[in-house]
Each structure stands twice: as C-alpha cells, then as structure tokens.
Amino acid sequence: MSESHSNDVRVEPATVDDLPLLVQLLVELFEEEEDFNPDPARHEIGLRMILENPKGGRILVIRNDHSLIGMVNLLFTISTAVGGMVLLMEDFIIHPAHRGQGYGSRLVSEVENFARQKGFKRITLLTDKISAESQRFFQRHGYAFSNMIPMRLLLE
C-alpha cells in the first residue's frame, strides 16, 4: 500500500492487534444500518477469521500515528460471469470524527489499486439502501447500481 506524504496517514493491512478498534468501528457501522445489530463478540469472530485467512480476504485500515481512522473488509471469490477473481467490498467505514476530510476517498482508491495489482476483475459493494449519502459517495467514485438485487437467508 502506498504511504501518504501529508499528515502521516497510511493505508495498510489490519493486524490482530487492531481487533478492539475494528470491533468498535463495526459497532458504529451496524448502529447505522437497518439489517444488522451490533454484536461485538460476533464481530470479533468474523474479523479474526478474515485476518487469519489471507487467501479468503483482507481488512485494510486507514490510520495515522495516533488513531485508526477507518476500515474496509475485502472478501475474495470467483465469478463465472467475468471468468476470474472478484472482490466483495463490505464494512466500509470512516470514523465519524474523520468524515468529510478525504479519508474515504483515499481508502476507496487504495482498494482499487489493490484490486488492480492482484488481478481482480470486479469490485462489488453492498451499501445501505437508506443511506443516500453513502450511495452518492460511491457513485462519485465510479460505482454504479446493478440490476441484481441482494437476497439472503439467515441460517441461525
């Protein structure tokens, strides 16, 4: 990942040491979403599974020397439609105190650079249907709505 020359901000892979702060960010994210309820114990399990399985995905963080600014979860899968590896981008969050300062754009740019470097053919993201602000943010970065509609079955 590239390093910023301004304000000591950098994007890098998360580590197990980041777990407490990552869990806090997910709690904040899921408090904003209608489909999920915050559950720190489950968030930690899921985060740990990704961190311990780099062939299945990555968690990237944006930070400076003082704080964790935000995170994104990248899951890897194969698409028969495009005939190759694709990314599913989830859990994109910038801490509320750092929003509107370009950190989200920086993180999106780093995700796209990572995907290109690793030969991924597509990035698909899920964003909250009721969050027009989030949708506009990703549209400004070239993401478009799909005709596909996510559906799910919870097996719990």
CATH assignment of 10-140, among 3.90.1150.10, 3.90.79.10, 3.40.630.30, 3.40.50.300? 3.40.630.30
Give the residue among 51, 50, 29 at the shortest CA–CA distance from 39: 29
pLDDT per position as a tens digit, 43-86? 999 999 999 999 999 999 999 988 999 999 999 999 999 999 99
Here the tokens at position 40 are 């720190």
88: closest CA among 102, 74, 68, 106? 74
Give per-residue pLDDT as tens, 37-53. Answer: 899 999 999 999 999 99
Percent of the chain with pLDDT over 70: 94
Q: Mean per-residue pLDDT for 89-118? A: 95
Written as one letter, the residue type at 150 is: P
